[in-house]
């Protein structure tokens, strides 16, 4: 639902001061919001446009005293009137990213950087039928609902009833009503997916502890050529998902990625990255579903290359043979002679330079 025009009661707005501090509130007629710098009356915002500036009052202050302080020093009203408020906030409708970061939640939400990558790599578009497992607080679900639109369909399977309630409430607040194109199921993935039609969904997103145990049921309900993306946080989970996909033969070679995010400061000549960044949060493993009775094509493993056995469990002779087989240690005799010749020349040049002589030709 796209909201335009004057701000209405029931909407959420984001208030941002000149220092960049943000407050998200739901507008209600006759209500007030207490801030560190005074009170904001919702009635002063309702009916007004986005991009307006609202000025705080004190609890015992009045609109007249704040207006007088603002007229006295319109550029910096807080300098002389902090005791009666006078702090300014810009009023905007929150973006979806802002809404998610400020919404009530029980479970840890996915970061916007990961959500954006899921929408991209899973290729989720208008009108698609999407299955999501692991609703959490609804951060990913809100983006999926927005991406598929009313022409599409989202089915979310959430194991915990209390999380399903949080999910549903956040979606209702964001869209202004419960999305009609959303099917929210409470229960475990295996049992609930059994009731879903075969090869029905265009896309599947799994956010759970053990997605490798759900791949069989996921393949049953996804259409041939459909895209699946799994979100996990540890390397052990990552490995198990990738190997399970390869072993089943029902999925194409998995593509694996993670995203880092770093903001920048740009003030005059002070242009530099921020001191803090959002580093590792999770891995995305993406693959496509093969048609029934068709084996996926995967890169063939070299017969001499064993990447699975623990080298500490081998005998000394086997360990030596393994080291000789490692691809990264492979180098031809011709290449090795060239490397040694170059290094001999460079070492000799150092000695000649120290003695004041001329260097050898490179």
Structural element, H or E, at residue 185: strand 182-186
Average pLDDT, the chain: 87
Between CA 231 and CA 15 the distance in angstroms is 32
* Average pLDDT estimate for 20-32: 92
Q: Which of 21-35, 59-73, 109-123, 125-139 has the lowest mean pLDDT?
A: 59-73
Q: Mention every residue, 6+ apart, whose C-beta is less than 8 A from residue 136.
A: 105, 106, 107, 108, 109, 110, 158, 163, 167, 207
| Res 78 pLDDT > 70 | no
Q: Which of 35-39, 143-147, 177-181 has the lowest mean pLDDT?
A: 35-39
Q: Which of 209-213, 227-231, 342-346 has the lowest mean pLDDT?
A: 342-346
Q: What is the pLDDT of residue 179?
A: 96
Q: What is the pLDDT of residue 346?
A: 86
Between CA 163 and CA 135 the distance in angstroms is 7
Between CA 33 and CA 44 the distance in angstroms is 11
Q: What is the pLDDT of residue 285?
A: 98
pLDDT band at 81 (very low <50, low <70, confident <90, very high): very low
Where is mean pLDDT largest: 137-141, 184-188, 337-341? Answer: 184-188
Higher-pLDDT residue of 225 and 279 is 225
Q: What is the pLDDT of residue 330?
A: 55
Q: Mention every residue, 6+ apart, whose C-beta is less than 8 A from residue 346.
A: none
| Res 28 pLDDT > 60 | yes
Sketch out the chain's domains with CATH numbers: 6-60+68-94 (3.10.330.20), 98-289 (3.40.50.150)
pLDDT digit string, tens, across residues 106-156: 667 788 899 999 999 999 999 999 999 988 889 999 999 999 999 999 999
| Res 73 pLDDT > 60 | no
188 assigned to a ligand binding site: yes
177 assigned to a ligand binding site: no
The answer to whether the Cα torsion of 84, 87, 90, 96 is positive or negative is negative
Nearest CA-CA partner of 246 in 290, 195, 282, 280: 290
Q: What is the pLDDT of residue 118?
A: 96
DSSP code, position 267: E
Q: What is the pLDDT of residue 154?
A: 98
Residue 55 near residue 77, CB atoms below 8 Å: yes
């Amino acid at each position: 639902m796209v909201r335009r025009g004057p701000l209405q009661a029931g909407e959420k707005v984001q208030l941002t001061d000149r220092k960049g501090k943000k407050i998200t509130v739901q507008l209600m007629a006759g209500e007030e919001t207490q801030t560190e710098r005074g009170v904001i009356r919702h009635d002063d915002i309702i009916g007004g446009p986005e991009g307006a500036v609202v000025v705080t009052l004190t609890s015992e202050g009045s609109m007249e005293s704040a207006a007088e302080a603002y007229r006295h020093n319109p550029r910096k009203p807080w300098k002389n009137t902090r005791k009666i408020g006078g702090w300014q906030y810009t009023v905007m409708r929150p973006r979806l990213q802002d809404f998610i970061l400020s919404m009530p939640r029980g479970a840890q939400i996915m970061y916007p950087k990961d959500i954006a990558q899921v929408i991209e790599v899973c290729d989720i578009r208008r009108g698609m039928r999407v299955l999501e497992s692991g609703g959490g607080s609804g951060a990913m679900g809100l983006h999926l609902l927005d991406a598929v639109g009313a022409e599409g369909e989202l089915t979310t399977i959430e194991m915990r009833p209390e999380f399903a309630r949080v999910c549903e409430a956040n979606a209702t607040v964001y869209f202004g009503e419960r999305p009609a194109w959303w099917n929210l199921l409470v229960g475990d993935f295996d049992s609930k997916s059994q009731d879903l039609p075969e090869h029905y969904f265009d896309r599947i997103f799994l956010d759970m502890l053990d997605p490798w145990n759900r791949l069989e049921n996921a393949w049953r309900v996804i259409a041939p050529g459909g895209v699946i993306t799994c979100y996990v946080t540890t390397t052990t989970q990552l490995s198990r998902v990738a190997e399970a996909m390869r072993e089943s033969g029902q999925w194409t070679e998995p593509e694996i990625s993670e995203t880092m995010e770093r903001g920048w400061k740009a003030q005059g000549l002070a242009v530099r990255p921020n001191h803090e960044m959002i580093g590792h949060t999770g891995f995305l493993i993406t693959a496509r579903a093969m048609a029934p009775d068709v084996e996926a094509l995967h890169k063939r493993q070299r017969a001499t290359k064993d990447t699975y056995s623990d080298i500490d469990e081998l005998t000394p002779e086997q360990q030596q043979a393994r080291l000789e087989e490692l691809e990264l240690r492979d180098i031809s005799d011709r290449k090795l002679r060239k490397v040694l010749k170059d290094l001999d020349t460079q070492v000799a040049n150092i000695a000649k330079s120290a003695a004041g002589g001329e260097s050898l030709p490179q």
